[in-house]
Amino acid sequence: MEFTGFLRKRYSDWNLRPMDAVILAYLALIGILVVPFHRDVRNWAAVPFVHAGLCALVLGLIRWQSGRPGPVIDFVRTFYPVLWICFAWTEMDNLVTMIFPYWANDFVVRADLWIFGVHPTVWVERLFRPWLTELMNFFYTIYYFFIATISFPLYFRGKRKETFEFLFLVTFTFAVSFLLFLVFPSEGAWIILKDKHTVEPEGGFFLHFIQWVQSNGTMRGGAFPSSHVAAAFTIALAGLRYNRPAGLVILPLSIGVALATVYCRYHHAVDAIAGILCGILLYGIGRRILRSDGRVHPDRK
């Protein structure tokens, strides 16, 4: 809080937004933590410098846009959090066990068995059908368009305040999810239960697309809670507030994303359940932060 308060005071004339504070605080925190906690982190000594450089880049972008606004720079300044999400997700593969030297795999497996009496990703194999596999992978694919579906209409209709608030809620959810990965490192069902998965799914375009995405962009840890599910539900709830028609479409799709994470074996059922709870909880906390920030900056547009 002291760090974000300093940033607000120092750069308030640059229109530092809550989403900027979240991203800068995350970059600073990881850059500091990796110094004493760098177990299993490849090239750990470079991480603080990379993060410091990214902080400088973000602040430079904000300063540039504040002094020289224009359609291109305004767009980049608004939507750069999407690039941060991609960076932080990719980087987490190298960081996930840097603090705690264990995998909490037994916990998630036993939790699934205790709740359901079976391994859900194994049990669901009896439901495998090419059309259902395609539908589930469609849900997993459409997730990547959720942010744009809500934010682009807001942005291009000139609702910049609402766009920034929406993107704060999304970045806040992702940032907390990534930090939880460090506290509770666990692997997905596709790794832990690989030997128990005996039925190969059959499908078409969406199955092959998601398999390609996962083969090029997944990480071993980061299973609990599911950040995909958490973000999907935060986006859906925020959509209902800021862009209700789109939110009404995304809400059932978010349920589909949660089901798809289990059907497609990327997550345990408890990962998805925890993701739903985190998405709802973090949306509520994020809204409280925005209301507080609004009292401090009532005229911010």
Q: Mind listing the pLDDT tens digit for each residue in 83-96?
A: 999 999 989 988 98
Quick one: pLDDT at residue 64? 87
For residues 255 and 280, the answer to whether their CB atoms sit within 8 Å is no
**pLDDT for 277 beyond 80:** yes
Tokens representing residue 77 in the block: 């300044």
Tokens representing residue 53 in the block: 């450089």
- The pTM of this model reads 0.89
**Sign of the CA dihedral 115, 120, 126, 127?**
positive
Quick one: pLDDT at residue 200? 87
Q: Please report which confidence band the pLDDT of residue 3 belongs to, taking 50, 70 and 90 as the band edges.
A: low
The overall average pLDDT reported for the chain is: 88
Quick one: pLDDT at residue 105? 86
DSSP assignments along 181-245, one per residue:
HHHS----HHHHTGGG-------SHHHHHHHHHHHHH--SS--SS-HHHHHHHHHHHHHHHH-HH
pLDDT in tens, 95-121: 988 888 788 888 888 999 999 999 999
**pLDDT for 299 beyond 80:** no
Q: Residue 265: left (phi > 0), alpha (psi -120 to 50), or beta?
A: left
**Sign of the CA dihedral 127, 128, 134, 140?**
positive
pLDDT in tens, 117-171: 999 999 999 999 999 999 999 999 999 999 999 999 999 999 999 999 999 999 9
pLDDT in tens, 197-234: 888 888 888 888 888 887 776 667 778 889 999 999 99
**pLDDT for 283 beyond 60:** yes
Quick one: pLDDT at residue 297? 47
Dist CA 187 CA 222 (whole Å)? 7
Tokens representing residue 266 in the block: 């990327």
Q: Please report which confidence band the pLDDT of residue 295 belongs to, taking 50, 70 and 90 as the band edges.
A: very low
Quick one: pLDDT at residue 185? 87
Q: Please report which confidence band the pLDDT of residue 250 belongs to, taking 50, 70 and 90 as the band edges.
A: very high
For residues 96 and 183, the answer to whether their CB atoms sit within 8 Å is no
Instruction: Please give the single-letter amino acid code of residue 196.
Output: K
Quick one: pLDDT at residue 275? 95
Q: Lowest mean pLDDT: which of 53-57, 89-93, 212-216, 243-247?
A: 212-216
DSSP assignments along 42-68, one per residue:
TTGGGHHHHHHHHHHHHHHHHHHHHHS
Residue (of 61, 26, 63) closest to 47 by Cα position: 26
